[in-house]
Amino acid sequence: MNLAELEAVVTAAGEKRFRAQQIFRWMHQRYARSLEEMTDLPKAFREKLATQATLTTLEIDLTQRSSDGTLKFRFRAADGKQIESVCMPDEDRRTLCVSTQVGCAMGCAFCRTATMGLVRNLSAGEIVEQAHRVNAFLIAEGVPGPRPLTNLVFMGMGEPLHNFDNVKRALEILEHAQGPNFSNRHLTVSTSGLVPGIARLGEETDVKLAISLNATTDEQREKLMPVGKKWNLAALMQACRDFPTRQGRHVTFEYVMLAGVNDSLDDAKRLAKLVRGLPVKVNLIPYNANPGLPFGAPDPARVKEFHDLLVGQKVEAFTRKSRGQDIAAACGQLVAPVVKPPEVAGS
């Protein structure tokens, strides 16, 4: 619920409107997991509310720590479904890569999440809650609060723009001044290229955009990313040109380098041509191997040549260093087994 909806619930229960702000702060600034924790609400009100509303949160099911400091969290939702988020600490910032769906319907050939298919969308609450549980975890580890996470990237499991309404609602809550209070410049939504969703993201939110480009010809892209059959490169690039870039919003292109598939210097030249004149950054992501998928990591020397060629063509390019590979937490490695919820005794 956003604050206005919470106010409606609170006033319908016969309480003052400001109680909703208290609850909102308990949930989104102090990461409360139950109404009982909200000790400055009258006990009778908490009990009454508990008969009308439930506060459901994600459980941290498993935490894995990489040798490079990356943390992978596996969460269990109320229906037993599992999702993963990855926290990447850097000098002065901590970024969480959040999931937006259980699985993904987009079927990209190189991505491990794709092998699950789409199981279901995450609710806005489940999207926001990933940040809260990780914040609470970090505070318990001694990281100063109240909000250890500085940046969120919607680059975990799922296609955010395929779950647009819940992602938008989650962004509104995450940016709320009386809630988590993230700045729009610290929130990035990544898409495989759902063109109508890009336009909506531009109009209806104020966050930054990342595009998983991954190919420089339609033929190549359609093979790797079926979404390319629906919206080709011309339509995708037009959507990027139309994306509003005020308020520090800018577009990043992600380019997963697959050995022998899209890592030639001709690809680099075509990539430079595609983005010429656009105020964009290109992130090169050397492929992270996945068992059973027929792709390999590019030669590091080739990654450097590719990178240098882009820079030589005045493209702002970065090579993303892979993190968390030892715990399968790197880009494109997230997958969570679908488990049955625990059997209820006697049922």
Q: Are 116 and 335 in contact (CB under 8 A)?
A: yes
CB of 114 to ligand SF4, least distance (A): 4
- Annotated catalytic residue, options 15, 84, 129, 175: 84
In this chain, which of 24, 73, 182, 287 binds ligand SAH, going by CB under 6 A? 287
Peptide bond into 291 cis (omega under 30): no
The two tokens of residue 344 are 């209820």
Is residue 212 near ligand SAH by the rule CB under 6 A? yes
In this chain, which of 87, 331, 335, 336 binds ligand SAH, going by CB under 6 A? 331
Instruction: Report the partner that residue 114 touches, choosing among ligand SAH, ligand SF4, none (CB closer than 5 to 8 A by kind).
Output: ligand SF4
**Residues in 158-177 that interact with ligand SF4 by CB under 6 A:** 158-159
**Residues in 53-112 that interact with ligand SF4 by CB under 6 A:** 104, 106, 108, 111
CB of 221 to ligand SAH, least distance (A): 11
Is residue 288 near ligand SAH by the rule CB under 6 A? yes
Q: Are 182 and 175 in contact (CB under 8 A)?
A: yes
Phi–psi pair at 177, nearest 5 degrees: -65, -30
In this chain, which of 85, 95, 135, 190 binds ligand SAH, going by CB under 6 A? 190
In 3-state terms, the chain is what percent helix, strand and coil (to 5)? 40, 20, 45
CB of 4 to ligand SAH, least distance (A): 29
CB of 124 to ligand SF4, least distance (A): 19
Is residue 127 near ligand SAH by the rule CB under 6 A? no
Is residue 192 near ligand SAH by the rule CB under 6 A? yes
Q: Are 342 and 82 in contact (CB under 8 A)?
A: no
Nearer to ligand SF4, 189 or 275 (CB): 189
- List of residues 6+ apart from 34 with CB closer than 8 A: 55
Q: Name the pairing type of β-strands 251-257 and 316-319.
A: unpaired
DSSP H helices in the chain: 3-12, 18-28, 43-52, 124-140, 164-175, 195-204, 218-224, 227-230, 233-242, 265-275, 300-312
- List of residues 6+ apart from 72 with CB closer than 8 A: 63, 64, 66, 84, 85, 86, 87, 324, 327, 328, 329
- List of residues 6+ apart from 264 with CB closer than 8 A: none
Determine the size of the site formed for ligand SAH (CB under 6 A): 17
In this chain, which of 57, 192, 290, 333 binds ligand SF4, going by CB under 6 A? 192
87 a catalytic residue: no
Q: Are 13 and 46 in contact (CB under 8 A)?
A: no
Is residue 256 near ligand SAH by the rule CB under 6 A? yes
Options 40-48, 170-178, 237-245, 281-289: segment touching ligand SAH (CB under 6 A): 281-289
47 a catalytic residue: no
- Nearest in space to 85 (alpha carbons), one of 138, 139, 30: 138
Residues that bind ligand SAH (CB under 6 A): 110-111, 155, 159, 190-192, 212, 214, 254, 256, 285, 287-288, 290, 331-332
Residues that bind ligand SF4 (CB under 6 A): 104, 106, 108, 111, 113-114, 158-159, 192, 212
- Residues carrying an active site annotation: 84, 331
